[in-house]
Structure 1
Amino acid sequence: MKRYHDHFQQPARLPDPASSSSSSSGKMLLEEDGGMDELLAVLGYKVKSSEMAEVAQKLEQLEEMMGHFQEDGLSHFATETVHYNPSELYTWLDSMLSEFNPSTSAVGAGSLGPLLSAPLNMDTSFLSGAESSTVSSIGLGAPNQHSRGFIGPSSSDYELKAIPGNAIYPQPPPRTRTQFVFDSSSSSNHGGDANKRLKCSISEYAPTPTAVQIGGCAGTRITTTAAESTRAVVLVDSQENGIRLVQALMACAEAVQKNNLSLAEALVKQIGFLAVSQAGAMRKVATYFAEALARRIYRLCPPQDHSLSDTLQMHFYETCPYLKFAHFTANQAILEAFEGKKRVHVIDFSMNQGLQWPALMQALALRPGGPPVFRLTGIGPPAPDNSDYLHDVGCNLAQLAEAIHVEFEFRGFVANSLADLEASMLELSPSENESVAVNSVFELHKLLARPGAMEKVLDVVKRTKPDIFTVVEQESNHNSPALLDRFTESLHYYSTLFDSLEGVANSQDKVMSEVYLGKQICNVVACEGSDRVERHETLTQWRTRFCSAGFSPVQLGSNAFKQASMLLALFNGGEGYRVEEKDGCLMLGWHTRPLIATSAWKLAVKQVVAG
């Protein structure tokens, strides 16, 4: 209790009226009687500076009185009476003191003041050839246009009366519920105590006691039953706010799904305040999900910018092993499929800056008996300025090919969608006994936004008669039609991804990588229809789809597993990252959570005969 007393003796810390960041929140804090204490205000408690000393005294009185009661003397607090987490701390203390001393005058225990609100920052301007080689590029269609507009609700004066949990919504019927586990303990690959990890698991709802575990040396286990789930747990610290933050995020997503935009708007503002009290990955993840929810509430479609996404992906490539793992494992499978072939042709659905192919070209150059003739067909989205960036990528690869003595040919196709491709465009050379590999890294899920697109592209792949078809996708289901389902799944997934970035030393690469992931979060949550392109699915779902389309799996060899494990040693000494083999496919995850999956496929025997 002394920590409260020490804090209350300090003068209230008021925001600087001159700073832009405090212009809105200052209106809430700079009130009469000396304003509100800023630290407690962020936690949801309103305490006037003129009452600070008296509140501290009441806290000490409450502690002293509670010390005089045995455990059975507190049994009346276990009744069905609802004790809300108050915003008016002063009156709440009076009511608590009256519980112990009926003669003490008190205001009702249910007295609630409005929660603080603040405008969400909607600023998304995160960033404001060789003679022996042939390079060509072809454009397919015009760049995709995205409109932006404000069609949202008018500013609401709705005031949220209570968080946490079921105080917002009535007790639901039996259904699946989410249990969130916070771990604030530092690990060897993380820098300091400020880092927190959000771990999430799904359990079946039942009216039996459930628990939220707060990790760390000073952790507290709080168990509530269904009958008392709306009772407050008065812990003025960031861990309790972490629980409230996750509850507010989930409640906001549910309110949006139910089209209760007034409640959703109030919650998304509260999320901004609760996020401030968090550190590390938790704060960043909550901020991006809050932005995504706000965009959905106000119907602000996130802008699509290929050049920005490309730049961010390059930083993501340098920051963490996920893209390197994807390229490495796919290349290993392609290299093994090309063994002994004199002419090889890679069709890349995810060309971007061509980061995947220098390593494969060098491996081919060192092949016993000399390198094969290497053709590369790259497909990529149009640039906003209509520049022919694929031609530039091809020229750079051609220069490398000349330096390592690989006969090389490149053709680039600019397409709004892979579904715009036709097999005839790819200039296949079956008469020259050319071995074909089709490669896709984080691209196929985008086809699910267009009906029939996936079937068409898989048909094009079959027409190329590839020796191997390599696919890398995110290992998570973010394609549920129900917003709350995919919100829950994506909160699990991206919390893990952000946690894995906490040990990154280069701050610029780290920030850019977080923005890269933040754009995905925004698309998953804020968009619908053809605009929602980040429709990630699990390996099990992809397996069903590919097998139905006439493909059979190719086992990724043990060499790929061993070498991938060696690759991870370059990142934090491999601490935290984990490679897992599953049914002949390779998965890379952070601790126990798989995050991306590499699989390889070929035409089933009956498909080859039919072809």
Structure 2
Amino acid sequence: MEVEEANPISTVEYGGAHLLKDQPISNDVILDEFHFDSVFPPTELAQIPTRDPSSLASFELLRKYGNGFKKLKGEIILSDKSAHESTPAVSHRLSTEEIMRVAGARYVQFPTQMSDDYLMPGHPFGFALSAAGLSEDETRDVELAHLLLAAAEKVSYRQYDRASRLLLRCEWISSAKANPVQRVVFRFAEALQERIEKEIGRATGKGVFEPNIDEIFQGFIISSHLPFLTVYKQIPFTQILLFTGIQAIVEKIAFQRKIHLIDIGIRCGVQWTILMQALAERRDCPIELLKITAVGSTGIEETGKRLANVAESLNLPFSFKPVLLPDMNDVKDELFETEDDEYVIIFAPHILGTMISRPTCLENLMRVIRNLYPSIMVVIETEANHNSPSFLNRFIEALFFYSAYYDSFDTCLKQYDADRMRMETVFGDAIRNIVAEEGAERNIRNVTMDVWRAFFARYRMVEIGFSEAALSQASLVVKRFACRSSCTIDKNGKCVIVGWKGSPIHSLSLWKFR
């Protein structure tokens, strides 16, 4: 990996993890007009054949996922893609995403092996799965996922009667309380049925569906709500992102005495006590002031009081300013009081992606950030493509993404069943929005880092690499978790990608402005 030099000499312990500390090391643009379609272009990964609706032979997106199955029983996927090694695989139950890959591969190979839209019992399809080493339970799960894919294809061709028959079978077999494959199928089948009801103009009886976007993304950042706190403690994704990002900030402010941190979308803010601890222990360059400007809609004042108490206990010069914004459309330059001698840091955790459906709002926020002349900007986002205008492409991308996430829930939250179910309900809302909604109502529109790079380039932002110390921080965090063998850390260019068994989940990137 190509990284910047860093010299870790000690650690600060917080919550069982360690934050690496480095020795101090020396170290007006007119924006183009923003066009949503050019920055977040329609991602057509595959064209569905119109002359043969029953076949997915040319559906390359599904083929891409299905082809990944050839590795599953023959290799162990390591955290560093540059160091992959082939080792004999031990017999294990396939993960949720692996089941979906098998189903995808089989659906590409056998798209028409149906009788009245149902898989035929005793068909060679099932024998082929058994011959491949799948257990009886795994074979049933693959066939269930196969049914779901068939239903999604029928929906894409507006064959709603046939799709509904398939979905009835899916809903009969699957359950929100069964194994993870069945739970994923249950959520996606529910979303497909809702899409059908909307398309044919039939009331669902569920009322207007308006997902709580803030609640959906709370699962990725520390929250005081018990289910989200359990996710933070038991699943490594959030801790990796936060500790690695804070490590990068500590390195960049080694010689700075006045630091202004602007957290866009702060919640309980406990992560900043780590930064406070590191600053309080500085001896060569004592801190004159740590200022935090917190942007949010509710509860910011309590967050400020807690952080002020921590700062006082550390004898750290500190100020806190809450910026209450019920709607990010209202963000303005004058809300942020910056000084010329401050080192300004922008921290944007899972906030930009929530505005993709509102391009004017996103453009305005980026212009405000640009006008603040920040020294660095830390961005955390979901690493997935849920913004394709092609319904079927979007469905498949979401199916594999949430299969990986549900698999992590099943592995890491075994002792927290109530919290897991709550989180899966929240994620179910996101699935319904991606699958069932279109237009302005479809506001879960995650995009990948490659798309963000194109977007940030419009604001003359330059990506910065992470140091060895920051990457070591990520590795230290992973080692604290029992599921460390399943959590992967890769690099995409200069950004860090945190994943589950090789499937990308979240990205962490660092930027400066030219």
Compute the TM-score of the two structures, normalised by the length of structure 2. Answer: 0.71
Task: Name the structure 2 match of 1:408.
Answer: 318
CA distance in 1 between partners of 2:214 and 2:449 (Å): 29
CA distance in 1 between partners of 2:513 and 2:312 (Å): 34
Sort the Cα spacing of 1:200 and 1:556 in 2 relative to 1 into closer, same or farther, 3 A: farther
Q: Does 1:239 align with 2:148?
A: no
SS of the counterpart of 1:578?
Answer: strand
Sort the Cα spacing of 1:296 and 1:226 in 2 relative to 1 into closer, same or farther, 3 A: closer
Q: Does 1:176 align with 2:60?
A: yes
CA distance in 2 between partners of 1:576 and 1:173 (Å): 32
For residues 37-72 of structure 1, what are the alpha-carbon distances to aligned partners after superposition, in whole Å with 9 as ceiling and x for unaligned? xxxxxxxxxxxxxxxxxxxxxxxxxxxxxxxxxxxx
CA drift at 1:426: 0.8
Task: Name the structure 2 match of 1:447.
Answer: 355
Contact 1:184 1:196 in 2 (8 A): no
Amino acid at match of 1:404: L
Amino acid at match of 1:472: I
Amino acid at match of 1:345: H
Sort the Cα spacing of 1:314 and 1:519 in 2 relative to 1 into closer, same or farther, 3 A: farther
Task: Name the structure 2 match of 1:318.
Answer: 233
Task: Name the structure 1 match of 2:435.
Answer: 525
Structure 1 residue runs of 5 or longer lacking an equivalent are 1-167, 204-209, 214-222, 383-387, 605-611
The CA RMSD measured in Å over matched residues stands at: 3.3
Q: How does 1:32-431 map to 2 (within 5 A)?
A: 170-171=54-55, 174-176=58-60, 178-179=62-63, 180=66, 196-199=95-98, 212=106, 232=120, 234=122, 235=126, 237-276=136-175, 280-299=179-198, 300=206, 301-305=208-212, 310=218, 311=225, 312-368=227-283, 369-380=285-296, 382=297, 388-430=298-340
CA distance in 2 between partners of 1:324 and 1:292 (Å): 31
How many pairs were matched up? 409
Contact 2:99 2:138 in 1 (8 A): no
Contact 2:61 2:393 in 1 (8 A): no
Sort the Cα spacing of 1:353 and 1:262 in 2 relative to 1 into closer, same or farther, 3 A: farther
Contact 2:265 2:349 in 1 (8 A): yes
SS of the counterpart of 2:374?
Answer: coil
Q: Does 1:592 align with 2:502?
A: yes
CA drift at 1:211: 5.5
Q: Does 1:545 align with 2:455?
A: yes
Sort the Cα spacing of 1:594 and 1:306 in 2 relative to 1 into closer, same or farther, 3 A: closer
Structure 2 residue runs of 5 or longer lacking an equivalent are 1-51, 77-90, 128-135, 199-205, 219-224
Residue among 444, 465, 489 paired with 2:373: 465
SS of the counterpart of 1:572?
Answer: coil
Amino acid at match of 1:580: D
For residues 214-239 of structure 1, what are the alpha-carbon distances to aligned partners after superposition, in whole Å with 9 as ceiling and x for unaligned? xxxxxxxxx96678687846159443
Sort the Cα spacing of 1:588 and 1:224 in 2 relative to 1 into closer, same or farther, 3 A: closer
Contact 2:261 2:345 in 1 (8 A): yes
CA drift at 1:502: 2.2
Task: Name the structure 1 match of 2:415.
Answer: 506
For residues 543-574 of structure 1, what are the alpha-carbon distances to aligned partners after superposition, in whole Å with 9 as ceiling and x for unaligned? 11111221111111111111111100111162
CA distance in 1 between partners of 2:448 and 2:477 (Å): 24
CA drift at 1:176: 2.6
SS of the counterpart of 1:553?
Answer: strand
Which stretch shows the higher mean deviation, 539-548 or 168-177?
Answer: 168-177
Amino acid at match of 1:302: F
For residues 296-348 of structure 1, what are the alpha-carbon distances to aligned partners after superposition, in whole Å with 9 as ceiling and x for unaligned? 33345434447865534333222311111221122122222222111111111
Task: Name the structure 1 match of 2:27.
Answer: none
CA distance in 2 between partners of 1:322 and 1:603 (Å): 27
Contact 2:354 2:445 in 1 (8 A): yes
**Higher RCO, 1 vs 2 (CA within 8 Å, ≥6 residues apart):** 2
SS of the counterpart of 2:174?
Answer: helix
Q: Does 1:561 align with 2:497?
A: no
| Larger Cα-atom Rg | 1
Task: Name the structure 2 match of 1:33.
Answer: none
Sort the Cα spacing of 1:211 and 1:475 in 2 relative to 1 into closer, same or farther, 3 A: closer
Amino acid at match of 2:472: K
Task: Name the structure 2 match of 1:570.
Answer: 480
Amino acid at match of 1:574: R
CA distance in 2 between partners of 1:282 and 1:184 (Å): 18
Q: Does 1:602 align with 2:508?
A: no
CA distance in 2 between partners of 1:227 and 1:271 (Å): 18
Task: Name the structure 2 match of 1:481.
Answer: 389
Amino acid at match of 1:408: F
Contact 1:326 1:441 in 2 (8 A): no
CA distance in 2 between partners of 1:519 and 1:315 (Å): 19
Contact 1:579 1:588 in 2 (8 A): yes
Amino acid at match of 2:151: C
Q: How many percent of aligned residue pairs carry the same amino acid?
A: 25
CA distance in 2 between partners of 1:268 and 1:193 (Å): 29
CA distance in 1 between partners of 2:105 and 2:159 (Å): 28
Contact 2:100 2:142 in 1 (8 A): no
CA distance in 1 between partners of 2:398 and 2:111 (Å): 27
Sort the Cα spacing of 1:522 and 1:254 in 2 relative to 1 into closer, same or farther, 3 A: same
CA drift at 1:401: 1.4
Contact 2:211 2:430 in 1 (8 A): no
Contact 1:346 1:437 in 2 (8 A): yes
Amino acid at match of 2:301: H
CA distance in 2 between partners of 1:578 and 1:286 (Å): 25
CA drift at 1:277: 12
CA distance in 2 between partners of 1:308 and 1:227 (Å): 40
CA distance in 2 between partners of 1:365 and 1:466 (Å): 23
Sort the Cα spacing of 1:594 and 1:549 in 2 relative to 1 into closer, same or farther, 3 A: same
Contact 1:475 1:537 in 2 (8 A): yes
Contact 1:282 1:495 in 2 (8 A): yes
Task: Name the structure 2 match of 1:495.
Answer: 403
SS of the counterpart of 1:575?
Answer: coil
CA distance in 1 between partners of 2:156 and 2:482 (Å): 40
Amino acid at match of 2:375: D
Sort the Cα spacing of 1:497 and 1:250 in 2 relative to 1 into closer, same or farther, 3 A: same
CA drift at 1:490: 0.8
For residues 231-253 of structure 1, what are the alpha-carbon distances to aligned partners after superposition, in whole Å with 9 as ceiling and x for unaligned? 84615944343233222222333
Contact 2:176 2:186 in 1 (8 A): no
CA distance in 1 between partners of 2:110 and 2:404 (Å): 29
Amino acid at match of 2:395: F
Sort the Cα spacing of 1:227 and 1:525 in 2 relative to 1 into closer, same or farther, 3 A: closer
